[in-house]
Amino acid sequence: MMERDIVVIGSGPAGLCAAIEAAEAGAKVLLVDENAKPGGQLFKQIHKFFGSREHSAGVRGIDIGTLLLKKAEDLNIEVWLNTEACGIFDQDKVWVVRDKSKSMTIHAKRIILATGANENVVNFPGWTLPGVMGAGAAQTMINIHRVLPGKKILMIGSGNVGVIVSYQLLQAGAEVKAVVEAAPQLGGYGVHTAKVRRAGVPFYTGHTVLEARGTDHVESAVIVQLDASWKPIAGTEFELDVDTICIAAGLTPAVELAFGAGCRSVNSPVLGGLVPWHDQRMCTSIPSIYIAGDVSGVEEASTAMEEGRMAGLSAADSLGYLEESRYKARFEAINHNLLALRSGMFGQKRRDAKEAIMAASKG
């Protein structure tokens, strides 16, 4: 059986950083991804990132992706694309299918799961009509494939994904008719909502979509106001002339491989639901399996990159690749960067949720 020190599953921001950190420590790393191109969501992120210089703040996600790929190439990291990881057996064997045809099992001394997250769905009458899609799907269409999903958009959800994708749809030439938010307050960063608002887009808090109308595609959407218990208020319905409805209702960690392998789960509503239990080193309840990025709790690409570095460092260290002093220095630096991103009015909640996961019983 083929053997590698570390197999990283998923080549988004977390997986790429994990592979780079581990390879820099000297580990023999194999990075696998089911997609035809590496980078995960990074190449859709055409906006400048927040954070400090250590977090590549001010650099566009797409450029961070290019830099990370170059680094992975310079380190001669082995990358298998079009490779689906289908299961983990005996805690250290990864079953993959390459190019949808070749099934094989790799013995991995350590496994790092950086599988990301999936978009949540909101269903309502008409939600299966062509033109209703995840905000992430719309972002893929405009920023990867350079195709407008439609001309008149309704965005459901005002978290950072909803407002950033609204802005990018405007940049791509679409008209965003409204951003609708069921909660009484907008979710995303004020600087994001402000740039969408000054482009003339109305925000409707305490509103939701009631139905999508149309025969073979979306022709309009009906919006309704919600009362304090989130029930539609009769008589407040109004129709919006849209051809596309984007849903940005949060993400759910892609935990199938972790739970299939037997990793203990913890429920973290703030971070997207059930996630694998993990410690500060990003090690799960199974000592040979590490996690990083959205699979460990939905946050942002910047935190995913730092968590990836932490997982790569820890996995390489557990194999004896690092001098203790070097490990400690890197651990402190990465942890410092993570804490900086998990502070302030938006970050503190995520920090508390992360600490609750780590404080939960390992089982």
Contact residues for other proteins, defined by CB under 8 A: 47-53, 57-60, 170-171, 173, 179, 184-186, 189-205, 225, 340-347
Q: State the minimum distance, in angstroms, from the CB of residue 199 to other proteins.
A: 6
Residue with smaller CB distance to other proteins, 241 or 323: 241
Closest contact distance (angstroms) between CB of 65 and other proteins is 15
In the complex with other proteins, which residue's Cβ is closer, 35 or 160? 160
Nearer to other proteins among residue 49 and residue 321 (C-beta): 49
Q: How far is the CB of 291 from other proteins (least distance, A)?
A: 22
Least distance (Å) between residue 310 CB and other proteins: 17
- Are the C-beta atoms of residues 149 and 138 closer than 8 Å to each other? yes
Largest CA distance in the chain: 68
DSSP one-letter string for 62-99: HHHHHHHHHHHHHTT-EEE-SEEEEEEETTTEEEEEET
Between CA 176 and CA 244 the distance in angstroms is 9
Q: Report the relative pairing of strands 203-205 and 265-268 from DSSP bridges.
A: unpaired
Which two structure tokens, joined as six digits, stand for 201? 């887009």
Nearer to other proteins, 186 or 311 (CB): 186
Closer residue to other proteins in complex, CB, 133/196: 196
To other proteins, the closest distance from the beta carbon of 184 in angstroms equals: 8
Scan for tokens 């996961």, then name that residue: 357
Ramachandran angles phi, psi of 290, nearest 5°: -115, 160
CA 169, CA 184: separation in Å to the nearest integer? 24
